């Protein structure tokens, strides 16, 4: 794989990950663009001990443009996109409408290109505010607008995994970054604003609430079992039981969690405990693609939909600095669709109380996914 870095017209970074070593990426971005927006504002909710990003500039981001105006397709003569090249394999670039950024505004609202400068004042004595320092990137899986991740060949999945591992390692070195989150939103039901096959990476300046909950449970388990890893024990139990296992190979197992929150939810986990994507070895990276594609194709076969099944694929990685021994790399794939004509809405219990009510037994979901 060849890695090439260029700058877009407004100074944002773009990185090509090419499967050919002779690829040349010198075509410039010919657009005239305004400067990137400054970082969002983070406000701390004292009632939940959670940070909320206030990113009003994202209201103007591109929303479901027609295919011939897609900003993630390669550029072509007479039309420049976010990707200056006329073709590409995998491309990663700084989001034009980021929730988090290293470009922090000063007290007068002028962009400061040094993280850590802030003109934000506390909203109340109980609600401190600070700049949303971090980074948001877009990951384009293919130049083909009408493709999906499930239609990629295993070799391309390997390139994507290598790109995510590269970005995880590099973003983890940025000042202030505490957690790196790689994910894909697929389908308008999820809320995507671009149809082109792509994912995103968020480099957060804090450990997210979900990860803090996972680490707290893992810490309690380690204290009560003499240091055993909770996710490793859960994975071993699922592999031994077998009734919720969807598919597996030498290095990975895909299974429906026993307490799945979503109607159809699968975890894919390596058999070796690893903190993050960067720690995967070559054999594990090669083995991931065929199994992941198998799971995504089973998801697409669940419902008779010409656009495929909407899903979220979320990589759970250990924090950058703290509790890395408690984490366990895995990707969680789930759909918000519970039937061909029904969505799983996060209504009162889920949205207000955080208590999920699943309409499909995990064992039944596993059986159906195995049979597809």
Catalytic positions, please? 198
Tell me how far apart the alpha carbons of residues 156 and 342 are, in angstroms, rounded to a whole number: 33
CB 3: neighbour CB atoms within 10 A? 13
| Backbone φ and ψ of 200, nearest 5° | -140, 165
**Tokens encoding 31:** 């657009």
- Strand, coil or helix: 238: helix
The answer to whether residues 196 and 72 touch, using CB atoms and an 8 Å cutoff, is: yes
CB 228: neighbour CB atoms within 10 A? 13
- Longest Cα–Cα distance of the chain, Å, equals 64
Q: Kindly calculate the radius of gyration of the chain based on its CA atoms and give it in whole angstroms.
A: 21
Tell me how far apart the alpha carbons of residues 217 and 290 are, in angstroms, rounded to a whole number: 31
Residues in CB range of 348: below 8 A, 6 or more apart:
none
Residues in CB range of 183: below 8 A, 6 or more apart:
199, 200, 201, 202, 312, 313, 314, 315
Tell me how far apart the alpha carbons of residues 249 and 236 are, in angstroms, rounded to a whole number: 14
Which CA distances in Å does 366 have to 135, 260, 295, 369?
36, 11, 11, 5
């Amino acid at each position: 794989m060849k890695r090439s870095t260029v700058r877009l017209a407004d100074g944002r970074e773009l990185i090509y990950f090419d499967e050919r070593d002779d690829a040349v990426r010198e075509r410039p971005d010919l657009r005239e663009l305004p400067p990137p927006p400054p970082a969002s504002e983070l406000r701390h909710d004292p009632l939940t001990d959670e940070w909320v990003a206030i990113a009003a500039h994202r209201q103007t981001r591109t929303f479901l443009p027609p295919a011939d105006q897609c900003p993630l397709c390669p550029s072509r003569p007479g039309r420049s996109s976010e990707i200056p090249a006329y073709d590409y394999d995998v491309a990663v670039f700084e989001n034009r409408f980021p929730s988090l950024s290293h470009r922090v505004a000063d007290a007068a609202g002028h962009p400061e290109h040094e993280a850590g400068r802030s003109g934000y004042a506390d909203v109340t004595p109980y609600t401190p505010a600070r700049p949303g320092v971090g980074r948001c990137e877009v990951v384009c899986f293919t130049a083909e607008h009408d493709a999906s991740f499930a239609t990629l060949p295993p070799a391309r999945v390997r390139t994507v995994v290598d790109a995510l591992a590269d970005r995880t390692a590099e973003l983890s070195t940025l000042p202030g970054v505490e957690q790196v989150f790689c994910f894909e939103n697929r389908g308008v039901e999820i809320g995507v604003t671009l149809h082109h096959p792509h994912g995103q990476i968020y480099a957060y300046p804090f450990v997210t609430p979900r990860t803090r909950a996972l680490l707290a449970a893992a810490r309690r388990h380690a204290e009560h079992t003499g240091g055993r890893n909770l996710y490793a024990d859960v994975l071993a139990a699922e592999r031994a039981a077998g009734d919720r296992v969807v598919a597996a190979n030498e290095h990975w197992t895909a299974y429906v969690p026993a307490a799945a929150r979503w109607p159809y939810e699968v975890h894919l986990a390596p058999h070796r405990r690893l903190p993050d994507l960067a720690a995967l070895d070559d054999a594990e990276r090669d083995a991931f693609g065929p199994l992941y594609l198998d799971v995504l194709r089973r998801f697409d076969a669940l419902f008779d939909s010409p656009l495929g099944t909407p899903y979220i694929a979320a990589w759970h990685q250990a924090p950058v600095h703290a509790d890395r021994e408690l984490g366990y790399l895995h990707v969680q794939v789930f759909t918000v669709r519970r039937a061909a004509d029904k969505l799983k809405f996060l209504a009162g219990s889920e949205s207000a109380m955080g208590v999920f009510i699943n309409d499909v037994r995990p064992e039944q979901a596993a059986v159906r996914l195995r049979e597809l």
